[in-house]
Structure 1
């Protein structure tokens, strides 16, 4: 029977991802099968999980997914020795309004699965107060059980002793303390970590993190603290429809933000995915019946995309007879132009009239519930879709027919409606599931 554990923290930036990767790789070195999950709408961390474990990781999200979908996704851990669910933000951080079966908080997943929480605490600038924070998290919500704590970025042995004593007095187990070790920090950029596929040395970095954590954390005690777990039978599968039977999927450093469960759902429904690289000036496969451009970092490659005449012309020809859909960065590339951070405008494919700018930065972040006003690949008009938006671009123009009425998690209508023209559609949100 596998064991399950949730890795969380009081806030973002404390070291959850690094500890998750290190534990996964350290246990893998011991011959254990490790299955990772990511709580919340993060499309970068699952690739790091896969690099650490050799097994695909998927997102589980209490705001966008129903319990049956979450159970279906988590059931992939049945044959693992240990399942790790990495949280997002702080343990109880979610949106104000409840979604399908929760607010998107990591605590929802911990309570739903019955897995105890391993807290990563960074006591920088404090000592005994770290114990008060951990105790508060332990006692805040009935049904969420604390396994213990790993301290990160401890300044000195004296500092560690002060924090350990306070945690011991509070009845909270300390599984280890990590001194500051900048060499294992993962590179970041404006949307989070630099993607795993962009880091040639990611394997060595994870190995070093595993070695470092194994020296300072009691791996056996952490494993014993995980909950024995018997996966529940899933009443339903994934609420995701494939956009077509044969899908041309843009896939390279500029187009990489795809939730793993989306691709899994497409394949499970019998669809075939045919990847192509816009950055390599490739065109959608001629035999495909739909083209999908996911998000990513097109702003970092805008000049190259603009100069790839073969890609742009091939996509335009494809769109004359077949559906094309873009999400976030993919939507921007379907537009008329993209202005980069230096204020230089680059001509995009022109299939939509959207104009976006990174010179005028504005953060757009949050869950989205969209009621389609027109059909898009895989979904009829009036379908309700749940997704998540995260980018730093400003909309300069969005002149085409709105694709949807889009609300944020509070129910407020937002301006990022998406667009539709002919066979082409685009959204700023990344689709997670249909609302049923």
Structure 2
């Protein structure tokens, strides 16, 4: 029987990812089978989880997914010794209005699965107040149980002692205290963490984090705090309609943001996926019946993509007879042009009239609920799709037929409607699930 534990914190940037990776690597080194999950719409961390555990990690999202979908996804942990679910933002942070099963908060998953929470606390600039924060989080929601805390970035032994005493007085277990250690900090990029697949040194970083955490955290106590757990009895496969029987998927450093559970669901539904690299000037497999361009960092490779006439010509040829869909960065590449951060304009595929610019950065972040006005691969008009948008581009032109009526999590209509022209469609949001 597996044991489950949620790794969360009061806020972002406290060290959840580093601790999750370190624990997963350390327990794997002890011979345990570890299954990781990511709460919320982050599509980068699961790749790091896979590097640490040797097993695919998927997202669990209470705003976008129904309980059956979440149950099917967590069932992959049935054969594991330990499940570690990494949270996003702070423990109770979500959107203002409930989605399918919750607000997207990590606490939703903790309560739904009955997994206790290991809280990562950064007491920088405080001492006893850290205990007050932990106690407040412990008592905020009756269905969420706190297993204990791990202190991160403690300043000195005296600082650690002050915080430990206050937590002991509050009846909160402390599993360890970690001083600052710059060598295990994962590099940052303008959209957050760099992608695991483009970090050659990621294995070394995880190993060093594991060594460091093992030195400062009581791994036995953490393991004992995890709750014995049996996955719900459901079919493993998700019920989805793939965008096609044979899918040509763009996959390289410019196109890698796609939710793992979506690819698995396509495979489970009988679809075949062939990958190609636009950065290597490759086009989609001519035997495919649909082409899908996920998001990523095309703005960092705009000049190269514009110069790769073989890729663009092959994509245009494909789109004359078969559907092509792009998400976020993929959508931008399907457009007329992309203006980079320096203001240089780069010609893109021209299958849509969209023109976007990074010269004037504006963050677009949040859940999206789209009601399709036109079909897109795998989904009929009227379908309600749930996804998440995160980019810094601005729309210069979006002249094509809107693909959908798109709202944010509060129900407000947003301007990023997506586009449809002939066989080509695109959205700024990354698809997570369809309301069924």
Does TM, normalized by the shorter one, top 0.5? yes
Indicate conservation of the 8 Å contact 1:52/1:203, yes or no: yes
Deviation above 3 Å: which 4+ runs of structure 1? none
Partners of 1:149 and 1:404 in 2: CA distance: 44
Residue 278 of structure 1 and its aligned partner are, at CA, apart by 0.2
* 1:213 alignment counterpart: 213
Q: What residue number does 2:17 align with?
A: 17
Deviations 1:411-433 (A, max 9, x none): 01110000000000000000000
- 1:238 positional shift: 2.6
Q: Is the 8 A contact 1:240 1:432 kept in 2?
A: no
1:30 maps to what in 2? 30
Map 1:275-290 → 2, pairs under 5 A: 275-290=275-290
> Partners of 2:237 and 2:32 in 1: how far apart?
28
Q: Residue 49 of structure 1 corresponds to which residue in structure 2? A: 49
Give distance in 2, aligned partners of 1:239 and 1:398.
33
What's the counterpart of residue 364 of structure 2?
364
Match of 2:182 in 1: 182
Q: Which runs of 5 or more residues in structure 2 are unaligned? A: none
Question: Partners of 2:74 and 2:235 in 1: how far apart?
Answer: 13
Deviations 1:375-404 (A, max 9, x none): 000000111100000000000100000000
Aligned twin of 1:160:
160
Distance in 2, matches of 1:83 and 1:396, equals 45
Over aligned residue pairs, what C-alpha RMSD do you find? 0.8
Aligned residue in 2 for 1:67:
67
Q: Work out whether residues 69 and 237 of structure 1, in 8 Å CA contact, stay in contact via their aligned partners in 2.
A: no
Give the equivalent residue in structure 2 for 1:201: 201
SS at match of 1:19: helix
1:77 is matched with 77
SS in 2 for 1:321: coil
Q: 5+ unaligned residues in a row in structure 1: which ranges? A: none
Distance in 2 (CA, whole Å) between partners of 1:241 and 1:57 is: 21
Identify if the C-alpha distance between structure 1 residues 374 and 105 changes in structure 2 by more than 3 Å, giving closer, same or farther: same
Q: Retained in 2: the 8 A contact 1:71–1:231?
A: yes
Q: Which residue of 1 aligns with 2:314?
A: 314
**Which whole-Å deviations, capped at 9, do the CAs of 1:283-335 have from their partners, x for residues lacking one?**
10010000000000000000000000000000000000000000000000000
Q: Distance in 1 between matches of 2:167 and 2:69?
A: 37
- Answer yes or no: is the 8 Å Cα contact 1:69–1:234 preserved in 2: no
Contact kept, 8 Å, 1:69 with 1:236, in 2: the verdict is: no
Give the 5 Å matches for 1:106-185.
Answer: 106-185=106-185
2:237, 2:268 within 8 Å by CA — same for their partners in 1?
no
> Closer, same or farther in 2 for the Cα pair 1:117/1:72, shift >3 Å?
same
Q: Cα deviations across residues 57-111 of structure 1 (Å, max 9, x unaligned)?
A: 0000000000000000000001100000000000000000000000000000000
- Quickly say closer, same or farther: Cα 1:236–1:211, change in 2 above 3 A: closer
Structure 2: distance between partners of 1:366 and 1:107: 18
Q: CA deviation at 1:190?
A: 1.3
Cα distance in 2 for partners of 1:345, 1:16 equals 38
Shift of 1:229: 0.2
- Alpha-carbon distance between aligned partners in 1 of 2:238 and 2:342, rounded to the nearest angstrom: 41
Give the Cα–Cα distance (whole angstroms) in 2 for the partners of residues 329 and 391 of structure 1.
8
TM-score of the superposition, structure 2-length normalised?
0.99
The alignment of Structure 1 onto Structure 2 pairs a total of residues equal to: 436
Would the aligned equivalents of 2:76 and 2:236 in 1 still touch at CA under 8 Å? no
The residue number in structure 2 matching 1:261 is 261
Per the normalisation by structure 1, the TM-score is 0.99
Q: Deviations over 1:129-150 (max 9, x none)?
A: 0000000000000100000000
Match of 2:37, SS state, is strand
Distance 2:192 2:53 in 1: 21
Distance 1:342 1:57, change over 3 A: same
- CA 416–223 in structure 1, closer or farther in 2 if over 3 Å, else same: same
Query: Take 1:220 and 1:311, find their aligned partners in 2: how far apart are those partners?
Result: 53
**Which residue in 2 is equivalent to 1:246?**
246
For 1:176 and 1:83, the matched residues in 2 are separated by 20
Aligned to 1:411: 411
Structure-1 separation of matches of 2:64 and 2:235: 17
Do the aligned residues in 1 keep the contact of 2:238 with 2:268 (CA within 8 Å)? no
User: What SS class does the counterpart of residue 280 from structure 2 fall into?
Assistant: coil
Q: What CA distance in whole angstroms lies between the structure 2 residues aligned with 1:416 and 1:199?
A: 32
**Offset of 1:235 from its aligned partner?**
6.9
C-alpha separation in 1, matches of 2:239 and 2:402: 24
Partner deviation per Cα, 1:334-387 (whole Å, 9 max, x = no partner): 000000001111000000000000001010000000000000000001111000
Distance 2:435 2:368 in 1: 11
Partner of 1:420: 420
Aligned partners of 2:124 and 2:155 also within 8 Å: yes
Q: Distance in 2 between matches of 1:314 and 1:161?
A: 64
Query: Hey, what's the Cα distance between the residues in 1 that align with 2:12 and 2:389?
Result: 18
Please tell me whether residue 377 in structure 1 is matched to residue 374 in structure 2.
no
Q: Output aligned runs, 1:268-347, within 5 Å.
A: 268-347=268-347
